[in-house]
Amino acid sequence: MDKNDRIYGLGETLGTLNKRGKKYRFYSTDDPMHTPEKEALYGTHPFMIVDGKNTFGLFIDFPAELIFDIGYENINTLKITVTGKNFDLYIFENENKNSIIEEFLKLTGTPFLPPKWAFGFQQCRWSYPDKESVNNIADNFRKREIPCDAIYLDIDYMENYKVFTVDNNKFPDFPQFARDIMKRGFKLVPIIDPGVKIEDGYNVCDEGVKNGYFCKDKDGKDYVTAVWPGLTYFPDFLNSTVRNWWGNLYKDFNDIGIRAFWNDMNEPAIFYTPDSLKEVSDILKQNSGNTDLGIEAFTAKDKMLTMANNRNDYKSFYQKDESGNIINHDDVHNLYGFNMARGTAEGLMNLDPEKRYFLLSRSSYIGQQRFSYIWMGDNFSWWDHMQVHFRMLQSLNMCGFFYTGPDIGGFGGNSSPELVIRWMQLGAFTPLYRNHSAIGTRNQEPWVYDEESNDILKNIIRLRYAFMPYAYSEFKKSTENLSPFIKPLGFVFETDRAKDAEDQYMYGDSLMVAPVYTPNARGRYVHLPEVKWLKWTASKFEDRNMTVYDSGDYFIDANLNEIPLFIKENSLIVLENPKQYTGEKETENLYITGLVTEESEFTFYDDDGESTGYKNGEYYKINIKISKTETEFDVNVEIDDTEEYPCTIKNIFFEIYDETGKKYTMETKID
């Protein structure tokens, strides 16, 4: 590498946005401890861009282990190890980074538009284990008027962790319960794991065994591992017959109206196998009575620790491809989550082609943006993981995963009120806005702290909802243009300083977000490249005090309740009054703001938010153009709708700033 080359991409990996200085391994792995030295996480995204002396893109399509050493062993050497011969290497020759991404997405597929509620707030916990606790969460949101669109069901909703079952003791009359809660504006999002509990009389297990749908051991018997339910079989998703079967298992949920899911544990995670458990027992048995093990005590400990997700186990089972060829799982390991998502997506589309679905997957592979979104796995309530959040957000967007996000507030470990506040601010400007935490950790729902913290959190979530028209419009545009919704500053401004400002990013094309991600901070440094910027240290929708900044470096004050936002010169953002949930009521008023020194345009997009009708023209757009004149501004509003899908907006309120910081308010009525 040239000394000044920057390397971008690699999707769901730890480390900096410029990937230099670290080694990355793609072998999808359920590792719940994302410490900085870790090389492999849940997904496999071997697409990168070299930006510098010779700018180009590179994608290696290979489903087994891949290693990228990017200036780790030797500071200026990039070394890629492909552990097999049967791979496709794509080079994207283009000087423009955004064009490289466009070409890459033309090759690997278009990210799909989620239902609009996916841009609302989503509440998760391992677990809300029964009807009462879910209803209690729902009550709290509505009673406190904190907007929320989704409540998740983690593994405890199932009967003994049997996938596609619901525990009737915890959720008596589940269909009625689900319909009731959905009527209140909450989507219910059950978790789905691939591991099928081995149990006679359990239909999923029985069908899979009978039809030979499960992965096999070397002798052709159904391969046994252990995950949440104890001993389980893994469906062989490599095969379309199995995918079709699996996709149809979502029917019961679909019939109730549940079309939102999260596929977990699909690397696939393995806790242990009967063989590996026996191995540890044997070591201890062997040493039984011998207490003077010295350092040898570590051997048993290490064995115990490496029992989960062990490579040897992945090498011990087999899958069957479309043509019936037997393939060692290890050779196609990184496709397991991909094909599970594919089966799920095809099933859901088939079950109700008229309605969008929502699907998160933990494991993923390049191209999966066509079927599912992903979340970033089991992070921790560490401040450092806010950096992982915004870096991974940018890197995943480059790889086609526009809609993504982490567990806000941190999954593992306990969080402090301040951490959750700062993280919820960052999350408000992340497509997937989901607060999630693990069993045994401190609760982090937005009302569990002191009154002041709770107020701040409520206002942040309301701010998120105020941005709904902007986020939904810009996201739609990004899928149309094959241009990431989240962009690094260095993909918009080609200066060294912009490229190195990894802790600031574009959320849509108009807004730069500069989150505060350190404890006890009263502000942060911000780099403003090239143009003028309209600063909003935002605490709530109703307070929209804006200041014009020239390009440069600034320490920006930001109290605990504030996040620094910057609207780019000659671009606009569109807000609305926050709703309680996305489908609560129609939007009638839009609020448009920005700093206009010459001319700026914004296209507002809207549709019903739930159906697939937008694919057939059931949507409308409003093109807004603002031009600076000698003394004030010209505003031009054009409605582009149809009789079948007419515009619902009645008023547009403008709050436009000139370069002196003077605010002009205008209003447009739409009949």
Helices of type H across 109-173: 131-144
Active site residue 267: yes
Residue 235 · residue 332 · CB < 8 Å: no
CB-count exposure of residue 544 (10 Å: 0-12, 13-18, 19+): middle
Q: Which is nearer to a copy of itself, 298 or 601 (CB)?
A: 298
Q: Is-cis flag, bond preceding 446, omega within 30?
A: no
For residue 25, the minimal CB distance to a copy of itself (Å) is 13
For residue 560, the minimal CB distance to a copy of itself (Å) is 8
For residue 438, the minimal CB distance to a copy of itself (Å) is 12
Distance CA 463, CA 302 (A): 47
Pair type for strands 150-153 and 599-607: unpaired
60: closest CA among 15, 108, 19? 108
Give the active site residue among 378, 445, 503, 569: 378
Q: Which is nearer to a copy of itself, 86 or 281 (CB)?
A: 281
Q: Which is nearer to a copy of itself, 8 or 373 (CB)?
A: 8
Distance CA 199, CA 195 (A): 12
How many helices (H) and strands (E) would you count in the chain?
A: 16, 38
Q: Find the radius of gyration of the CA atoms of the chain.
A: 25
Q: Which residue has the tokens 């780790």?
A: 72
Q: Which is nearer to a copy of itself, 14 or 64 (CB)?
A: 14
For residue 38, the minimal CB distance to a copy of itself (Å) is 10
Residue 516 · residue 539 · CB < 8 Å: no
Residue 304 · residue 33 · CB < 8 Å: no
For residue 478, the minimal CB distance to a copy of itself (Å) is 27
Q: Which is nearer to a copy of itself, 169 or 291 (CB)?
A: 291
Element (H, E) at 601: strand 599-607
CA 666 to chain centre: 37
Active site residue 378: yes
Residue 512 · residue 468 · CB < 8 Å: no
Give the active site residue among 51, 267, 313, 607: 267
For residue 70, the minimal CB distance to a copy of itself (Å) is 10
Give the active site residue among 149, 193, 264, 330: 264
For residue 529, the minimal CB distance to a copy of itself (Å) is 12
Tokens encoding 133: 């606790």
CA torsion angle 567 570 576 582 (round to 10): -80
Helices of type H across 201-355: 203-211, 240-248, 251-256, 274-286, 297-305, 311-314, 329-332, 336-351
29: closest CA among 306, 359, 443, 381? 306
Tokens encoding 642: 């149809």
For residue 225, the minimal CB distance to a copy of itself (Å) is 10
Active site residue 264: yes
Q: Which is nearer to a copy of itself, 7 or 396 (CB)?
A: 7
Q: Which is nearer to a copy of itself, 178 or 421 (CB)?
A: 421
Tokens encoding 585: 């009521």
For residue 421, the minimal CB distance to a copy of itself (Å) is 9
Q: Which is nearer to a copy of itself, 169 or 520 (CB)?
A: 520
Q: Which is nearer to a copy of itself, 283 or 531 (CB)?
A: 283
Neighbours of 371 (CB within 10 A): 23
Cα three-residue angle 575-578-579, rounded to 5 degrees = 130
Distance CA 525, CA 378 (A): 29
* Active site members: 264, 267, 378
